[in-house]
Amino acid sequence: MASAVLRAVARWYPVPLVLAVWEVLSRTGAVSKRLMPSLVEIAAAVGAAMDNGDLLFHAGISLGRAAAGYALAIVAGVLLGVAMARSRLFDALFEPLFSFGYPVPKIALYPVFIFAFGLGSLSKVMLIFLECLYPITVNAFYGMRGVDRVHVWAAENMGATPRQVFWRVLLPGAAPSIFAGLRVALPISLIVVIITEMIGESRGLGYYISYASASFEYATAFAGVAAVAVIGFTLDRLLVWLRNRVIFWERGAAFIGAA
Amino acid sequence: MSAAAQRRAAPLSRARRTALGLVLPLAALIAWELSARIGEVPSYLVAPSAIFATTWEMLASGELWQHTRVSLLRALGGYAIGGACGIAMGLLAGIARPVERFYDPVVSLTYPVPKIVVLPILIAWLGAGDASKIAVITAAVFYPTFINSLYGAKGVNRLYVWSARNMGAGPLRVFAKVILPAALPQVLAGLRIGLALAFIVMVACEMQNSRSGLGHLIITAEDSLRFDLMYAAIVAIAIIGFAGDRLLLWLRRRALAGQAIGKEGAHG
C-alpha cells in the first residue's frame, strides 16, 4: 500500500511541481497575470462556465464536429488504403495524390471550403475529414502492404478463401498500423476544429477561447484551454484503450512512436 | 497483396504507373478549367489558367515572395527553436532516467492537446506580431521531436553501448559515436512530423490574426473576393510544404548514407 503510494508520487510528482511553479510565478507577478492567471482564478472560471452551461455547450459543438470529420475520415481512409494496397490500378491512380498531398497544409483551403460548404459546421467537418484522411489512408496502406507474405501463403495453403484471408489474416495484420494512423489523426482533428472555430464562427471552443481572450477574460480563456486539454487527453486514452482491446495480441504503444 | 493476385497481374511498368497517376489530377484540372470557361461554376472556382497567370504575375512583382518570406521566417524560426529544444531534451531524457521520469507525465498529459489553443492568449500577451506565432509553432514542433528523440535514444541496442564502453570509450564518445548515430533515423522522423506541423500552425496562426504572411494573404484575398489571389497564396503554401518535406527527405538520405533506410515517400 505504502509502496504503491510512493510509486505514484515518484511517477506523477512533476505535475504538481509544474502547477506549483505556475502558481508562484503568477502570485509573485514574475510573469504577467494575462499569460498566467492564478490557478484558483482558472478553477473559479471553470466552475462558473460549467454552472451557466457555456463550457459544455461549446465543447459539445466542437466535439460533434471533430467526431463527424474523424469518423468520415476513418471510413474513407481505411477503405481507400485497403483498395490501394490490394489493387495495382487504385495504387497507381491514388498514390501520387497522397505522396504529393501529404506534406501540404490542407488548412490553407479553409476559405474555399467556406464558399463551397457554407460558414457552418459542414465546412469544418469537411476540412477535418480531408486533414485526417491522409495519415489514416497512408497508414492503412502500409499496414496492408506490410503483412507477412508467409502468413497469407500459409492461410491459403490451409484452404482459406480470399474472404477469409482478408478478414482473418490481412486485416488483423494491418490493424496495428491502422491504429497508429488513427492516433496521428486524432489531435489533427482537434487542431483543425479549434482553428476553424477561431477564424470564423460564433460557437465552439475555439470561438469561446478567442472571444474570452479578446475581451481580456484570461481566466475564462484558460477554462476553455483546460476543456480542450481534457477532451484531447481523454480521447487519446480512449483510443489507446480501444487499441489494446482490439489488438490484444500485441502490447505497447502507450505512447506515440515514429508514427 | 495476396499471392493469387500477384500471379494474375504482372507489375505495371514505370511509364504506365506515371501515366495512371496523372489521370485523376489532369481530369480534375481539365474539368475545372472547362467548367470555369463555360461559366457553370460559382465564382470562387477560378479557372486554373487564371490562377497560374496571377501566380506568375505576383511572382514577377515580388509581392508573393514578400509574404512567403515573412511566413517562412516564422515557420522556420519556431521550427529551429522547437526542434533544437525537442532533440536536446529528448536525447537527454533518452539516456538519463531521472530526466525521462520528470518529462514523462507532463508530456503525456499535454501531448494530445492542440497547442494552437493558447494562440489567442499569446497574442494578447505578446501582440499580433511574429513572437506569438513563433511561440506557438515552437510548442507544436517540440512534442514530436522530443518524443521521437527520446525513443530513438532509448531504443539503442544496449550491446553496442556496452561494447563501446568495454573498448574504453568515455561517456561523451559513446554518446557521439554510438547513441547519436543509432538514434538519428528516429530523430529525423520526428523532425519530419515537426516540419509538417510547423507549416500547418503557421498558416493557422496567420489566418487567425496577422497583418502579413501567406495565411493573411488568403484571408484578405477572400474578403475582397480576389479568388485568383487566394489561390496563388494557396499554391505558394502547397509548394513550400512540399519542397520543405522533400528537402528534409534528401537531407535524411545524406545523413543516413550507409544506414538502412525505412519506408520513404508518403509515409509520415
Interface pTM (ipTM) of the complex?
0.80
Position B11 scores a pLDDT of 66
What is the average per-residue pLDDT within B101-127? 83
Cell output for A32 = 504577467
In a domain, A60, yes or no: yes
Structural domain includes residue A32: no
Residue A23 lies inside a defined structural domain of this protein: no
CA distance B95 to A130: 39
Q: How many domains does chain A have?
A: 1
Closest in A102, A104, A162 to B268, CB measured: A102
Inter-chain residue contact A32 with B109, CB threshold 8 Å:
no
pLDDT of residue A256: 43
Instruction: Identify the residue with better confidence: B257 or A68.
Output: A68
pLDDT of residue A16: 87
A115–B11 CB contact, under 8 Å: no
Does some domain include residue A143?
A: yes
Closest C-alpha among A119, A136, A130, A129 to residue A69: A129
Mean pLDDT confidence for B89-98: 90
Q: How many CB pairs under 8 A join A and B?
A: 204
Q: How confident is the model at residue B83 (pLDDT cuts 50, 70, 90)?
A: very high
Per-residue pLDDT at B9: 53
Q: For the packed helices B97-110 and A2-12, what is the interaxial angle rounded to 10 degrees?
A: 80
CATH classification at residue A168: 1.10.3720.10
Per-residue model confidence (pLDDT) at position B266: 34
Q: Which pLDDT band holds residue B134 (cuts at 50, 70, 90)?
A: very high
Q: Do B204 and A191 touch (CB under 8 A)?
A: yes
- A252 part of contact set with chain B, CB < 8 Å: no
Indicate whether A19 belongs to any domain: no
pLDDT at site A255 = 47
Q: Assess whether pLDDT exceeds 60 at residue B6.
A: no
Burial class (CB in 10 A: 0-12, 13-18, 19+), B171: exposed
Write down the pLDDT at residue B224: 86
Compare CB distances from A111 to B25, B104, B222 and report the shortest one's residue.
Answer: B222
Q: Least CA distance to A211: which residue of chain B?
A: B120
B40: Cβ–Cβ under 8 A, 6 or more apart, which residues? none
| Residue-level pLDDT at B258 | 67
The pLDDT value recorded for residue A258 is 31
* Alpha-carbon gap, residue B122 to A198, rounded angstroms: 14
CB B187 within 8 A of CB B149: yes
Per residue in A130-181, pLDDT tens? 999 999 999 999 999 888 889 889 998 998 898 999 999 999 999 989 998 9
CATH of domain B48-255: 1.10.3720.10
Angle (nearest 5°) at CA B42 between B36 and B46: 45
Would A126 be classed as within a structural domain?
yes
* Structural domain boundaries, residue A80: 47-246
Say what the pLDDT of residue B263 is.
Answer: 39
Distance CA B178, CA A178 (A): 33
What residues 86-145 of chain A have any CB closer than 8 A to a CB of chain B? Answer: 86, 88-89, 92-100, 102-105, 107-112, 114-116, 135, 138, 142, 145
Question: Are the C-beta atoms of B120 and A216 separated by less than 8 Å?
Answer: no
- CA proximity to A87, closest of A15, A17, A141, A148: A141
Residue A68, domain member (yes or no): yes
A12 → closest Cβ in B105, B189, B265? B105
Q: Where are the domains of chain B?
A: 13-42, 48-255
- For chain A, which residues score pLDDT lower than 50? 253-259
